[in-house]
Amino acid sequence: MNGIFLNITRGQHINVSVFRELEDIPTLSIEFFNHLLAYRATCAEAKSNDQNYSDWYENNFQRTAAIVKSVEINLQDSFKDEPDENRILDIWIDLPPQIIN
């Protein structure tokens, strides 16, 4: 969702982003789709392994710092052709510093 938001908007920071004109919206990069497919494969594997709620909770909430870093790296890779895309770091602005670091 963050990647799609970044792709259809522009601005210096997340809080002042505006929608791009329809003809100005670029095609999402192949890297974006590769990361999306990798996430889908990971979810499918967890489902096929009958992952229970406690496993899901541990994987998604007790690893917040690792998830934040992974999403940040994947977004930077997906939007590497847009050197002014500093809004990626804005996504985490409301998170406590111990989670971001």
- What are the tens digits of pLDDT across the range 21-50? 999 999 999 999 999 999 888 878 877 888
Count of structural domains, the chain: 1
Structural domain range at position 50:
2-100
Q: What is the pTM of this model?
A: 0.66
The helix (run of H) or strand (run of E) holding residue 30 is helix 30-48
Given a cut of 70, whether residue 84 has pLDDT beyond it is no
pLDDT of residue 27: 94
Q: Pseudo-torsion of CA 62, 68, 70, 75, nearest 10°?
A: 150
